[in-house]
Amino acid sequence: MIDRARPSILVMSDDSVFSLDLELSLRAGRFQPVLKSPVSREAAPGVLAPFVAAIVDFASPKPRVHELIDHLAIHELPVIAVTTSDSRPLRSNPAILACFEKPLDVEAMTGTVSALLRGRRRPKHGIVTGGADRSGCGEDHAARPR
């Protein structure tokens, strides 16, 4: 059951053990995680409406994962990526606002999610890092306005 008093976070991952750990951590951080298999890139805005942010974790992102991330960004859903050190393609996607590398610093990530929620929409310029790995996500596009 979804707790409407807590902000809902869409979590999509190909790692079920990590997803469970992330779910527990987000609940402790006053968020309502909703674990889903990837939503279709054709998903109507109404499907995405309950969510305030999305966290994606894919070890080997295929082109459809990038299409999905772009779709979420088009609907102004902030996207945060959890990556491994070798997942360069995911880190280079300009629709991703922040990247965190495993092992995950959950406190830094929940702080970034909280910062994104204060504005309730995507930042206009740059990338919210809030403890995220600055050496990966956004290094090719951080200075470029969105």
Rounded CA separation 89/93 (Å)? 7
Spatial CB neighbours of 29, under 8 Å, sequence gap ≥ 6: 106, 110, 113
Residue 90 sits at the vertex; the CA angle it makes with 109 and 60, to the nearest 5 degrees, is 110
In the chain, the percentage of residues whose pLDDT exceeds 70 is 66
pLDDT at position 134 is 38
Q: Two tokens at 40?
A: 């279709």
CB atoms within 10 A of CB 21: 13
Helix (H) or strand (E) holding 18: helix 16-28
* Domain-wise residue ranges, the chain: 8-119
Q: For the sheet containing 32-35, what is the strand order? A: 32-35, 8-13, 51-57, 79-83, 98-101
CB 53 within 8 A of CB 10: yes
Instruction: Look at 96 and 43; give whichever has higher pLDDT.
Output: 96
CATH topology of domain 8-119: Rossmann fold (3.40.50)
Among 43, 14, 9, residue whose Cα is nearest residue 26? 9
Task: Give the model confidence (pLDDT) of 35-51 as tens digits.
Answer: 776 656 556 666 777 78
Rounded CA separation 102/86 (Å)? 11
Q: Give the pLDDT band (50/70/90) at residue 138.
A: very low
Task: Give the model confidence (pLDDT) of 70-88 as tens digits.
Answer: 888 888 888 888 877 666 6
CB 89 within 8 A of CB 51: no
pLDDT at position 88 is 65
What string of DSSP letters covers 64-125? HHHHHHHHHHHTT--EEEEE-TT-HHHHT-TT--EEEESSP-HHHHHHHHHHHHHHTS--SB
Average pLDDT over residues 138-146: 36
